[in-house]
Amino acid sequence: MEQRDTRTGQWCMIMGILALFFVGVIHLQAEGVTINRSVQDGDYEPTETTLIRDNPEIQDLQRQITEQGDRIQKTHEEIEQINNELERVHTRKQTLQNELETLSLIDRQNEVHLRSTEEAVKQSQLKIQSLNSSIADNALNVQLLRHVLQKNYRRKNEFDLQGSATHIFLHPSFFEVLQWAEETGRYTEALQDHLDLLEMETARLEYNREEVLTERDTLESRQQELADRKKIHAFSLNQKRVLVSKTKNDEAVYQQMLAMKKKEFLELQRDLLEYQSRIDYLRDPTRIPDPQPGLLRLPFDGSMPVTQEFGETSFARANSSRYGRPFHNGIDFGTPIGTEILAAADGVIVGVGNTDIVPSCQSWGKWVLIEHPFGLTTMYAHLSLTKVRLGQKVKSGDLIGYSGSTGFSTGPHLHFGVYDSRGIEVVPYERLSQSGRCRGLEIPVAAQDALLNPTLYLDL
């Protein structure tokens, strides 16, 4: 009799657990979570399709994002084609026709840059929309999973309170009892699967929220870049209008202007060299870092051709009157107009200027000077737009301006100089010359021995 009671209790427990399983399965499907395969199929495996996925709105946004990316890629290819055309023009003789052709190509290039940035802004806006839709789906998935789990755990608790003895007579067949026991294990696994899905969806939700914040920063940056490129484009158009207005499309007038520009530049160079010779400076090798490629990062992303090296280059020797001596005091990179110019290392802005403010005093054009904490100062010249202010602290890779062709320049490029910080200063032009023609301008001036070869510190 006692053995019969023991067996009866065991059967009741098994039958009760299996009853919980079927109640749970029915409830799991009734609570709104789309389950493609029932637990009773014997091969239940939760997949992404068990929850809200493949939202048509998100799919459409993703399609638009891809299309924007394709358009951006095409603008990059168009910009590269224009760069090649500009290089061909720069090899020709400096004539009015070639100058106007150069300015027209630069206009085209700026227009393509504008279009590319506008497409990038739209792409960021679409990404934010897509992420916000994903967040809404994630939040609903989390809500559904929590609801299902709460309901089914409550059913389990209710069944535990009822006890299993009352369910033994529901399935007297031994085979049905065994099948019931097997399905109970699967149901328990299904509940754990949904717990795992809940954790996964919560993580997706947090990740997408972080992505929105990141993309908003990207959007803000791109909108600022768009505003910058509009300024660069307007400046370029004005250059062309001024040139046409001054020359009246007359080659002879243009050549006279060019000759006068060279004469004024040579006078400026003589003033600079004379002042440099009077700077009280003696290089102390212990105060500047040893040559170390990579101490300074390249002042732009990607790679750009070096168009003139540092020192007594063949171009400097052939144009010694241009520099006042056969020596180039920096390194030139063939950067297209509008290239983002970046700080080569952490530092402080100790100079920002524009020598083009006075037409007869063109030299560096728009320039930036950064003093670094390890004894070096770097210079960036011939910019189309500067983006920093005096005294501002910058980090390596921060945007400081955009490449251009301002000042005394034969074409778009970046002049990059490296100096011993103790041997360079920014001075009012009145201290260089008593002529007064460049009054109000400031210009960086370095002692001859303070000039350093940038390739000693760049990882080229």
Cβ–Cβ under 8 Å, residues 388 and 400? yes
146, β-bridge pairs? none
Higher-confidence residue of 132 and 185: namely 132
Mean pLDDT across the stretch 170-179? 55
CA R_g for the chain: 36
pLDDT-wise least confident of 60-74, 153-167, 365-379: 153-167
Location of each CATH 2.70.70.10 domain in the chain: 250-456
Average pLDDT of the residues in 160-169: 48
The yes-or-no verdict on residue 28 having pLDDT over 50 is no
pLDDT given at position 297: 97
Please give the average per-residue pLDDT across 450-457, as a whole number: 94
pLDDT at residue 455, as a whole number: 95
Tokens read off for 302: 């990607």
Q: Which residue has the higher pLDDT, 128 or 168?
A: 128
* CB burial string 136-171: b at 16+ within 10 A, e below: bbbbebbebbeebbeebeebbeebeeeebeebbeeb
Residue 444 predicted with pLDDT over 70: yes
Listed in order, strand segments (DSSP E) in 260-365 are 306-308, 331-333, 340-342, 347-354
Nearest to 338 by CA among 385, 388, 389: 385
Q: State pLDDT tens for residues 252-292.
A: 887 887 787 777 777 777 777 777 777 778 778 888 999 99
Distance CA 360, CA 260 (A): 9
Of 32-41, 180-189, 210-219, 447-456, which one has max mean pLDDT?
447-456
Could you give the CA distance from residue 10 to residue 88 in angstroms, rounded to a whole number? 92
| Helix or strand run (H / E) with residue 247 | helix 174-247
Fold for the domain defined by 250-456: Glucose Permease (Domain IIA) (2.70.70)
Is residue 121 within a helix (H) or strand (E), and if so which, with residue range? helix 96-162
Summarize the confidence of residues 360-378 as an average pLDDT.
92
For residue range 95-110, list pLDDT tens digits in order. 888 888 888 888 888 8
Q: Please tell me the total number of residues recorded for the chain in this structure.
A: 460
pTM of the shown model: 0.70
Checking if the pLDDT of 160 tops 80, the result is no
What span, in angstroms and rounded, lies between the C-alpha atoms of 418 and 408? 20
**pLDDT tens for each residue of 300-329:** 999 999 989 998 777 767 665 555 566 788
115 vs 185, more confident:
115
pLDDT band at 223 (very low <50, low <70, confident <90, very high): confident
The closest of 312, 317, 376, 311 to 343, measured between CA atoms, is 376
Q: Is the pLDDT of residue 26 over 70?
A: no
Q: Tell me, what's the pLDDT at 40?
A: 36
Q: pLDDT at position 347, please?
A: 97
